[in-house]
A and B are shown apart, each in its own frame.
Chain A
């Protein structure tokens, strides 16, 4: 019977339907998400784009299972999402490395928390190698630059072999050169590992360079305003006329055209 089990695909299928959520600000509810429906196919890279503070990050927290949703359906591979799970890992805007752990031990965090670190230490080394930081295993987080710290945070996520990688503006605080390098790196890793990726970003160009599909959100409370398929292979070029045209139309739909 075990033999009949379907092989687990690398990516998670995400199904969101009629999702609404509100914050409680001193007794008065403040709606942040309104009736959001969204399906993400296994292995798809979806970018969420929208005005600052519109509730995109809240959506990610709900998908990660860090908070229960007020209303609506939220499923991963048909199973309701009721709590956090190492198959759905978040990379936050800040690297949030633990300053009291060396780089290696930060990356080992997930395996240690799940109680499987013993015997799987090579997975930590492999994850560090993936982000080209093998030489920094013994460094303290305070000794790293912003881009390096964010790559360690990425390794800390990837070591768990997530089926859904949730990226909350992961490159938001990096300088533009590091940003370009890391966009390439993220695409490489996504193509090699085959996980589903859900990324919040403020940067239209970044979304166009990285995502298969871009979801544009309205102002708070966030609703899905439009969806754009980016039908281009990788690597993409910033000056690709097709992308430039899409960029203009997205900016227009955001009211910035």
Chain B
């Protein structure tokens, strides 16, 4: 899969493109979270609009990243999960503890 990391503005945005299940991708995602924190950005937004598949382990890595950001006094939010990815995230109960934004506009409004 492909990651696109942009660290501009008040938050770091990590775009996931493709399928999120391989161990190599988990490491790349963790590195992106580290980079956000390293830049002093306490909010990480994971853009899932172009993610087509996520495994249960991939969900686990999102939760782990969420905990890491929280421990650093920050936040991790999800942006625009679609289709089966959205359904899986909902089944896993992420909406109970994680902010999930349906669009860039919704995100911008929430983050001010």
Partners in one complex: no
